[in-house]
Structure 1
Amino acid sequence: MATLLHLDSSVLPGSASASRTVTEAFRKAWEEEHPQGTVIYRDLSADPVPHISADGHTAAFVDPSEHTPEQAAAFARRLEFIEELERADAVLIGAPMYNFSIPSTLKAWLDNVIVVGRTAGDTPSAKGTPVTVVASRGGAYGPGTPREGYEYVQNYLGAVLKDMLGLDVEFIVPELTMAAQVPAMAELVPLAEASRAKALEDAAAKGRTLAGQFTAKAA
């Protein structure tokens, strides 16, 4: 049985969130294709992980036998997130763009799971795990757009997830999500609707494909 680690980080609940709507489509397809699998779910907005502390940070560079009680407690919490990542056969991340970057709650999770010499470095412990990132954004930031240089979600997560953690990363990008709310973007509503439809289709297809691979292996 395969395990999916599913992280959402949007501050908006349910269907009010573009990223949650798309990750839900992925997860639904995954569960339908692989009903015997396991899903570990973390809503990083409703239940934030702690920002990394001095004790949690320094503990990663000290032999566990030499941890202070404070370091031991802080690192035990980090290990909970690290081991969830290491156990996962696939990862799904909802990462909306807030002020050109990722939500601080997602950054806090990343800071906890990145440990050089374990999850990062020459032989990262979750290397090769497939990761699907739903990088929703209110405007357009793709190549050739006026705001291309302000895209710090895919650029950052690509560097961290792929280059540091060695994960196999794929992005699904529903964009122009604010078109229906911003009068100046009204003419972009058809493009926004098309982007949303494609993202939902791509997410469902990716969820089925990945789950199907694990179902086939188990047969």
Structure 2
Amino acid sequence: MATLLHIDSSAFPTGASSSRAVTEAFRAAWQEQHPEGTVIYRDLHAEPVPHITADATTAFYADPADHTPEQAAAFAERSRLVEELEAADAVVIGAPMYNFTVPSTLKAWLDHVIVVGRTAGDAPSLKGKPVTVVASRGGSYAPGTPREGFEYVQNYLSAVFADWMQADLEFIVPELTMAPHNPAMAELVPLFESSREQALQAADRKAKALAERLAA
């Protein structure tokens, strides 16, 4: 049966997080199609992975027989994260925008699983793997908006997953998530609600379509 790797990185709990709500909708729709399948869940905020170290970096390019104890430990931890990603049939990632880019917890995870010559580069092991990113954001950074040039979530993750890892990448983008909380954005609440509903519907639709495709 198919395996879904579900990753959240929001600092907010499910009831207060737009990205978590949408990844949960994706997961629920996936499980509806794959009730006997496996879901591996990582909450990078609740259980962050360590920031990458020199030992973790060099260990992947050194003969394991020559590893120092520190390299061996770092290699084992990094290998576990890489193998978990490689083994998944599909991936869904909650990536809220914090200060124009991804949360540091998600960046730390990415630093571990991006391995040039293995998961990224000329012949990446993740080539063609379906990856869906829920890129929630407090305002709007869509093309044509005043802050279009400050959008570093989709740009960055497209470079990582689509260009470097050659994964089959799709985005779901719930935006204006600060509208209910910021009085200055009160008039945008209806647009936020519409964006949120569209994102939830897209998660349901994409998860079901992907599950059916992988089952074929």
- For Structure 1 versus Structure 2, the TM-score category normalised by the shorter chain is over 0.9
CA distance, structure 2, for counterparts of residue 65 and residue 206 of structure 1 = 44
Instruction: Find out whether 1:172 has 2:180 as its counterpart.
Output: no
Structure-1 residue corresponding to 2:38: 38
Q: 1:33-78: per-residue Cα shift (whole Å, max 9, x none)?
A: 1111111100000000111011001112212221111101101000
> Secondary structure, in 3 states, of the residue corresponding to 2:39?
strand
Structure-2 residue corresponding to 1:146: 146
Shift in Å at residue 204 of structure 1? Answer: 0.6
CA distance, structure 2, for counterparts of residue 160 and residue 17 of structure 1 = 24
Shift in Å at residue 9 of structure 1? Answer: 0.2
> Secondary structure, in 3 states, of the residue corresponding to 1:106?
helix
Of the structure 1 ranges 160-169 and 192-201, higher mean CA displacement relative to structure 2 is found in 160-169
Shift in Å at residue 163 of structure 1? Answer: 1.0
Structure-1 residue corresponding to 2:93: 93
Structure-2 residue corresponding to 1:53: 53
Unmatched 5+ stretches in structure 2: none
> Secondary structure, in 3 states, of the residue corresponding to 2:72?
helix
Say what the alpha-carbon RMSD is for the aligned residues. 0.7
Equivalent position amino acid for 1:79 in 2: S
> Secondary structure, in 3 states, of the residue corresponding to 1:45?
coil
CA distance, structure 2, for counterparts of residue 69 and residue 126 of structure 1 = 29
Structure-1 residue corresponding to 2:116: 116
Unmatched 5+ stretches in structure 1: none
CA distance, structure 1, for counterparts of residue 81 and residue 166 of structure 2 = 17
Q: What is the percentage of aligned positions where both structures have the same residue?
A: 70
Equivalent position amino acid for 1:178 in 2: M
Shift in Å at residue 214 of structure 1? Answer: 2.5
Equivalent position amino acid for 1:168 in 2: D
Runs of 4+ in structure 1 deviating by more than 4 angstroms, as ranges, are none
> Secondary structure, in 3 states, of the residue corresponding to 1:171?
strand
CA distance, structure 1, for counterparts of residue 82 and residue 202 of structure 2 = 28
Instruction: Find out whether 1:202 has 2:202 as its counterpart.
Output: yes
TM-score calculated relative to the size of structure 1? 0.97
CA distance, structure 1, for counterparts of residue 114 and residue 149 of structure 2 = 26
Question: What aligned pairs does 1:57-68 form with structure 2 within 5 A after superposition?
Answer: 57-68=57-68
Equivalent position amino acid for 2:103 in 1: P
Of the structure 1 ranges 205-214 and 186-195, higher mean CA displacement relative to structure 2 is found in 205-214
Shift in Å at residue 170 of structure 1? Answer: 0.3
CA distance, structure 2, for counterparts of residue 126 and residue 185 of structure 1 = 40
CA distance, structure 2, for counterparts of residue 165 and residue 71 of structure 1 = 25
> How many residue pairs were aligned?
216
> Secondary structure, in 3 states, of the residue corresponding to 1:36?
coil
> Secondary structure, in 3 states, of the residue corresponding to 2:131?
strand
> Secondary structure, in 3 states, of the residue corresponding to 1:81?
helix
CA distance, structure 2, for counterparts of residue 136 and residue 126 of structure 1 = 24
